Structure 1
């Protein structure tokens, strides 16, 4: 089997990179709010949001978008055979 890393061209790696940068900025923004929080509940909330933004938005969505650009020739992918 042969793997094509850029099945849709440069759009998937570019979008993947943009999602990782935006998710990281969102996580860092939430982490800054942890220092400004006045109560323990607010600190926990902002820290949880920061972790979710970096782990869920930045890392997971970046990998998901990047994997959409992969194609394996000779395997079943949806309804097409190559």
Structure 2
């Protein structure tokens, strides 16, 4: 059974701040999470160190921060890798 993808308000704003080409590229990559949010490219996804419920999808140079609740994948942030830890402290 596929997972449902939801973007919270901050993730929607993050996505809206990107140029159209980057936005569509990231949305395409996020769709991977519908089938296997725990496994990507055959590797088990690890939780972000120090953040019990958060996972990270790497789409260089961006990071998609998400959590899984039941059959929902909730995208919390879509941020440049340089801003990663500063931004997730605010979640």
TM-score by length of structure 1 reads 0.31
Question: Greater share of strand residues, 1 or 2?
Answer: 2
Question: Greater share of helix residues, 1 or 2?
Answer: 1
* Larger RCO (alpha carbons 8 Å, 6+ apart): 1
TM-score by length of structure 2 reads 0.29
